[in-house]
Amino acid sequence: MNYFFSTLLIISSLNIFSQQSPNLQNVTLKGKIIEKETQQVLEYATVVLKDLRTKKLSGGITNAEGLFSFEVSTGLYEISFEFIGFKKMVLSNQKINANRDFGIINLHADTENLNEVEIIAEKSTVEIKLDKKIYNVGKDMTVKGGTATDVLENVPSVTVDQDGTISLRGNDNVTILINGKPSGLVGLNGTNALKQLPAEAIEKVEVVTSPSARYQAEGTGGILNIILRRSKISGFNGSSQLTLGNPDRFGVNANLNYRTSKFNLFTNSSYDYRDSPGKSSIRQENLANFGGEHFLNENRLSARINRNVNSLVGLEYYFSETSSIVGSILYSSSKDDNNTSNTSDKLFENRTLSASSFRNNNIKQDENTTEYALNYTKNFKKADHKLTLDFKLENSTELSDGFTLETNTVPNNAIIAQEFQLTDNYQRSLLLQGDYVLPLKKDGRFEFGFRSDFNKTITDFEIDTLNAFGIRVSDANFSNILHYGENIHAVYSQYGTKFDKLSFLMGLRLEISDINIDLITTHENFDKNYTKLFPTLNFNYELNDRESFTLGYNRRIRRPRSRFINPFPSRSSATNLFSGNPDINPAYTSAYELGYMNRMKKLTVNSSIYYNHSTDNFTFVTEETGDFTDEGIPIIIRMPINLATESRYGFELGLNYNPLKIWRINSSFNLFKSQTRGDFNGRNFDADNTSWFTRFSSKLTLPKAIDFQTTFFYMGPSKTAQSTNNGMFMANLAFSKDVMKEKGTLTLNVSDLLNSSKRKGTSFTPTTFSRSEFQFRQRSVNLAFSYRFNQKKKRQPQPQRGDENMGEDFGG
């Protein structure tokens, strides 16, 4: 099929220009188009009807769920179903005289003609759907050679703090899923483990701010669903990438796939070496110690060397055109060598030096995760009639061996302390899940399912010191063994339908939580059991083919994790401790959202206003322990508590603008305000915080087919009851060029061009005041080379205005 014929046929299919006779009756045709080999839906597939009497054409395209539905006049037609790179299916002499449901249409990948597919247009980096935002990783050059954390830094509505904390619309309680499920790729260290996942393994990230009842209720901020790459092309194909960078960086990644009509064998494996230097400083004033040591200045330098190996191997077997099973094994290993040096100067009130010390901390960590997963999918004859069953078993271990040496440098050179930190973490998780979707008449859909999560975590933490005789002894104040068990069982049901321009989805989820906390060292045991209902309600109203409104409500939960509950303190320095709180309870949030979308010819506008109200909200408070160091410096401790309430409301605006075929612009702006109310230990912790962040990205194709991309991000200032944070700016840029007849791509990118990504702020207690500056990582430069074999660099056709009908969950 040559370029001219392909283009002409697609244009003809997408533009309905036939004129219906007033004497003919209109009927509705609907169905679902999927790829036979993978059972994946095909968005923007075309349905072309040729009237055998008038020879005129009509038809439509599929939405994000692969569904199509449109009206035609009764008559005799030739009907074809097609998608670029797939073999066309043709139904001849079809007499259409009543409404007809074609059910599931299976299309086969056309590997012979795949190389004839011409580049039509590039898919946007950011897609705006009615029920979610989708960030396409492959189109963003600034994350080439990066990690999942780098990817999330560019996702709309998402921010990543200097310490790796991920927030959605300013809320750091975010649920992160991999391919729609919890995964070992998130790891024991939560979001820190995402630094082990290479960006090249990620296809896209879905941002869901108003989840339906199908999703687990955990995560008051919303859900980030990371979708990993898997090739859909038959035969043996794949891609590989080599990355070099400064600071020292070496990475290699391979994504391989072998597909036949009966099975699909796939793997995604990577190795990454990374040196990530950082630095920080703290200036603390002791407001109560007049006449003595009044100031404390700390300067820290950190060197973090990470060696990561990830390997995912899977096999998908097709029992028939409508059923398949997928089995996969994930192995992830991370070996880290982290060294932090801390220089502390203590000064009198007149700022003359009283004492100085040097503290060096070296921690070696070894984390390993193995995950086994099975998925069974059954598609029934009727479109969207589906059953899925999932099983996942994960085992993770983390061993940490640290040594701290602290010495005096002024007034004398003497050893203050030698400390050994040993941590042994073990986690075992089991997931069982089933989902059933039943389409009903008149665009209705009923769904129900179940899910059970069984989680067990064992943490063995020990701190040893050397006594006066040089003998290593355990410090009972900082050594403990914690057994944490969390079993969560859930059932849900939801129903949705569409009436003309209005669609809705309402659901109810029941979750039963059974939590056990066992402190082996002190022989203490805590049980927490609660059963809660989580309703959801989502509406979508289409004003016309361009404009739509969405309205959503859902109830969410934030459960305290083991670190928040463990009462044994851990310390980052001689004067700073962190402790969990065994009395902390879950926080509950009611979330409301009103959205508006307008798709114009070159501009798409997506805006929303939202309001969240939380009870028993988590807040971290800093208090004095009443203890002092040998030099008289007060020791402070930070811990989580339940405050009474938090109200959070904001406004979000997203723009996708394509002024030229060679130029794409994405920008977003988020303004939010939070109000916290509550008292603790006789102190009032009321706080009002207004903050905002904005992101701008521009991608331009220069002469010689060189792509140039810039990204700017600014986080506005913020504050809590005990701290304030200054604003932060970051700029990235990248150049990319296809080589070797488009089989290879060379990319050069610079992250944090101005080396300005630093968190600056202040914190205070009744007797202390501190200023801090923290830079987790510095400016980096990466050069990446990607090579594709048995693949054509494809670019999807641009969706036409008004193409997106009801997405998953009916726009919810």
Q: What is the DSSP string of 351-375?
A: --EEEEEEEEEEEEEEEEEEEEEEE
Residues of the chain with pLDDT under 50: 1-22, 111-122, 794-812
CATH architecture of 3-116: Sandwich (2.60)
Q: What are the CA-CA distances from residue 219 to residues 64, 177, 416, 645, 786 (Å)?
A: 25, 11, 44, 17, 36
CA distance 5 to 16: 18
Amino acid 703: pLDDT: 92
User: Residue 169 region, left (φ>0) first, then alpha (ψ -120 to 50), else beta?
Assistant: left
137, HSE (Cβ side, Cα atoms, 13 Å): 25
Amino acid 792: pLDDT: 54
The C-alpha angle with vertex 793 and arms to 666 and 104, in degrees rounded to 5, equals 85
The C-alpha angle with vertex 215 and arms to 211 and 221, in degrees rounded to 5, equals 50
CA distance 320 to 311: 29
Could you tell me where in the chain the CATH 2.40.170.20 domains are found? Answer: 235-811
CA distance 142 to 599: 27
Amino acid 636: pLDDT: 86
CA distance 254 to 225: 22
Amino acid 163: pLDDT: 65
CA distance 267 to 312: 5
Amino acid 270: pLDDT: 92
pTM of the prediction?
A: 0.77
Q: Which of 695, 699, 697 is nearest to 668 (CA)?
A: 695
CA distance 41 to 107: 10
CA distance 458 to 481: 7
Q: Which helix (H) or strand (E) holds 149?
A: helix 148-153
Amino acid 631: pLDDT: 66
3-class SS letters over 719-749: ECCCEEECCEEEEEEEEEEEECCCCEEEEEE
Residue at 477: amino acid letter: N
Q: What are the CA-CA distances from residue 391 to residues 263, 308, 452, 561 (Å)?
A: 20, 26, 10, 23
Would you identify the CATH topology of the domain 126-228? Ferric Hydroxamate Uptake Protein; Chain A, domain 1 (2.170.130)
pLDDT digits (tens, 9 = 90+) for 18-71: 344 445 578 888 899 988 766 778 877 888 888 888 777 777 788 767 888 888
CB within 8 Å of 471: residues ≥ 6 apart? none
Q: Are the beta carbons of 358 and 340 closer than 8 angstroms?
A: no
Residue at 494: amino acid letter: Q
Q: Are the beta carbons of 311 and 317 closer than 8 angstroms?
A: no
Q: What CATH number does the domain located at 235-811 have? A: 2.40.170.20
Residue 661 token pair: 């075929």
* DSSP output for 58-121: EEEE--TTSEEEEEEESEEEEEEEE-TTB--EEEEEEEE-S-EEEEEEEE-B-SSSGGGPPP--
CA distance 300 to 508: 50
CA distance 134 to 170: 19
Q: What is the DSSP letter of 153?
A: H
CB within 8 Å of 685: residues ≥ 6 apart? 619, 621, 643, 676, 678, 679, 721, 722
Q: Are the beta carbons of 384 and 436 closer than 8 angstroms?
A: no
CB within 8 Å of 34: residues ≥ 6 apart? 40, 41, 42, 66, 104, 105, 106, 107, 379
- The dihedral built from the CA positions of residue 598, 159, 807 and 557, taken in this order, carries a sign that is negative
- Cα end-to-end distance, the chain, whole Å: 40
Amino acid 796: pLDDT: 40
Amino acid 118: pLDDT: 30
User: Which ranges in 500-654 belong to alpha helices (H)?
Assistant: 562-565
Residue at 192: amino acid letter: N
